Structure 1
Amino acid sequence: HIGGTILGSSRTNPFKIEGGVERILNTLERNAIDFLIGIGGDDTLGVIHRLSERGVKAIGIPQTIDNDISMTDYSTASSGSV
């Protein structure tokens, strides 16, 4: 089984899918979502950063068991699982 949340989760990079970013932007606007929180590793944080460059108000929370994300001392899963 793949982990997830009631909101859903994905390992998909929207920047690698045709129309992926536009779909996200449209979904945020359609649902009046003002802020996006991304929790994950390098890929997730990279996507959050690139979305913020497109005007999305967002924050990235590092979470990786490897504790290998630059510019952070610790991530939420580096000392155990979440």
Structure 2
Amino acid sequence: MSRLLDAGVRTESYLGRSWRVREVRGNSSGRHYVCPGCQQSLSSAVAHVVVWPDDGLGDVSDRRHWHTACWAARDRRPPRGSWR
């Protein structure tokens, strides 16, 4: 069962930690998120990535929804409003 849940999930590094990353197609759920990379609204209708710590200690509340371009640029520019 866990293999099914891990389908399409890759591991990447950021800020010295390991993160699980899943690409998400746009959908019609109507949800809105705030991208940690740019602090802008991210509609569930837009394709994006969902990122969570790879340590296995967190839960659903540890997931973050990023614009795909913001996640790709995370090492070149710090997230807006970031302490880094």
TM-score if structure 1 supplies the norm length?
Answer: 0.24
Q: Which has the higher helix share?
A: 1
Q: Which has the higher strand share?
A: 2
Greater RCO (Cα-Cα under 8 Å, separation 6 or more):
2
TM-score if structure 2 supplies the norm length?
Answer: 0.23
